[in-house]
Structure 1
C-alpha cells in the first residue's frame, strides 16, 4: 500500500515526471544503440563470410584479403596443394583487377573486376541470367541498372587507359551473361566478374591469384584446417572466420571505444535524472515520511517504496526508449553504410536479444540504485529532527 501511494504521488506531478521519462528514454535509446554497435559490425561480417560456405581465406603471405596488390604466383599449383589438404571441400580462386568502362574513345570510371572460377565462387549470387563463360561478364545490380544492361547485351572494357588523355588504348567487347548480387560490394558499387583466365590474360598476370576462398568439409574445425593449410603451403597466409573477425575487431576498435564512452554517459545521465526526480519527490513528502515512521512503519518498507519509484521510472523510460533506439539505429545504419568500402549487406547495429536485455536491465538497475541515496537520507534522519523540520 505504501508503494502504491508513493507511485501515485510520483505521477500526480505529470509534467515533471514526463520530462524525466523523456530524458531516461533518450538515455536508454542511446545505450541500446551503443550496445548494438559494439558487436554489430563484427557479427554481421562473420555472418557474411559464411553465407556462401567459403569460410576460410588464403592470401599472399602476411597480408589480408585485398589489403594490397600482392598476388599468389603459380595460383593453379597452389590451389591444387590447398585442395589436397584433408578437410578441404572446395577451393575458389579470385584475381582482383581494375577494368574501365569504355565509351567511344574515352575510358570511363574504373570498375572493380573479379576473376573467378564460375564453378566455385563465393563473391556473388546470380539473380538474372547465368554464370559467365570465356568472353562473358556478370555485372552487379547497380551497374546493370545504371547502364541498362541485361543478359545478352555487350559491354566494352579497357584495362590500360591513357591517364594523360583519358582515352582507352585497347578495348575488348564482352557479352553480359547475367546480373548478380555482389555480397561484399558497398551500396551502389558498380562492379563485375568474369572467368579468371580472361582477367589473367587481359592484365598480363598469367597464373596469378589474389586470394582463395576455401570451403571446409562438414564437421571440420576451421581454425585447425587453417593451421594445416599454412603448414602445407607455407608461402601463403590462411585465415579462419574467427581470425578475420578478430582482425575486424582490431580495425574497428574506435567504434567499440565510442560505444563504451557514450553508453557510460547514458548511464550517468539516467542516474542523475532518476536521483533528481526522487530527491525532489522525497523532499516534498518529507513530512509524510516522518509521520509514517512515527506511527511505526519500518525504515526498510519506506526505503523499498522510494527505491520502487526509481525502478518504475527507469523501467517506463526503457519501454519508451526501446522503439526510439531501434528507429535511431536504422537511421544511423543507413548513414554509415553509405560510406565507400563498407559492404551494403553488413550492419553496424545487430539485434542480439541477450545483450539488449542486459543493457535495458542495467538502466533499470541504475534507476533503482539512484533512488537509494535520497531514500536513505530520508529514512535515516532522526525522527525528532524530521518532525521538527516539518513543523517549522
Structure 2
C-alpha cells in the first residue's frame, strides 16, 4: 500500500475538453456555497460524506409541503398526485441504473438500509452454519456489521478479500476464496477511502459461474459515474440520495426481480401486505413488498427533482469534470513535502485521502475550517479495519463534486503549506 511502500496515486490526465462544463453557472445553483465561514468563502470538500443540495431540490420540498402535501396510495386529489410523483421518481431511478423495470427499485433510508435489507433476507432464508459470505478489506462499516450479524446468528463464516499494495482488490485471492459454500459476495463499487473503482463486471462473472449473487455498495459511485446494472450484471445495487445532492433519509436498493421475489420481506406493516389475518399475511407485489409503512415520500419526490437536474447537466460531463479535478488535486497535493496519498489505483473516484508527516491531522482539520473556511473530513471514515491495516488512526480526506473548482484546490494547497510553516 502507498502509505507504507511510498507509492503515489497516479491517474492519466483526463481531457479538459469537458463539453463546455460551466462550473461558475452550476455553483449558482447551490445556496450553501454563497456564504462565508469564519469570514472566508465556504469551500466544501466533503461530498463523499454528503453532497450539498441544488436549490431546485430545496424548492421542490418546500413546494410539496406548501401546496401538494398528501399521503400516497389514496384516492383523493393530493394523495393521488403524490402517488404519481413517487412512481415517476421510481421510473427515473430505473432509467438511471438501466434496471429492467421500476419494480426492481426499492426505496429505503439509504445505502446502509439497502445492505441490511439483503443481509437480513439472506440470514433468514439463505445462510446456514458453515456457509460463507465474502466482503473486502476496503468496506465501510455499513457493509461489514450487517454481514457480521447475519453470520453470528446463523453460524456462517465472514471472509475478507485482501487488497494489493496499490489499494486494488487482490483478484487472485478473491477467485481462490470463492467456494461451494459461498452464498453471496458483497463489496463496494468504489472505496470511500482509497477511491479505488472495483472491477464489478469481472467479479459478477466469476461469481455467477458458481451461481453466487453479488451485492454492490454504490454509495460512492452512483454520484460520480453512470451506472448500468445490466451491464455490470450485479444482483443487487444500493446507494444514497444525499451523497448525490438529494435529501437525506432516502436511498435505493436495486435487485433483480428473481431475487427480490424469493427474499422474505425486511419489515412488516401497512402497504407491504395485501391481505392480513391473525394467522397469516399475503405480501404485496414488488416493490411494495419491501416498503412497509409510510416512506419518506416528500424526500423521494425531491430526489426525482435532483435526478432531473443531474440529467440536464449531463452525467458524462459531470464525470469528466470531476475526474479533471481529481487529477488536478493529485498533482498539486503531491508537491507538498511530507504529504502521502493513500492508494494508487489507476481508476479512482474523485476522492483523495492523505497523511501529513509531523502533523496532527485533527488540528489541521480545525485550522483549515477556522482560518480558510475549508471543510474536509478527518478520521477513520467508518473504515477501521482498513485503517488498521494501513497502520493509521486518522487521515485527511478531500472529495470533489460537480460544484468544486481548481481555485478551491489551490486554496487548500496554500492552506496546508501555510499550516506546515506555522507549525514549525
Task: Name the structure with the higher strand share.
Answer: 1
Task: Name the structure with the higher helix share.
Answer: 1
Task: Tell me the TM-score normalized by structure 2.
Answer: 0.21
Task: Tell me the TM-score normalized by structure 1.
Answer: 0.22
Higher relative contact order (CA 8 A, sep 6+): 1
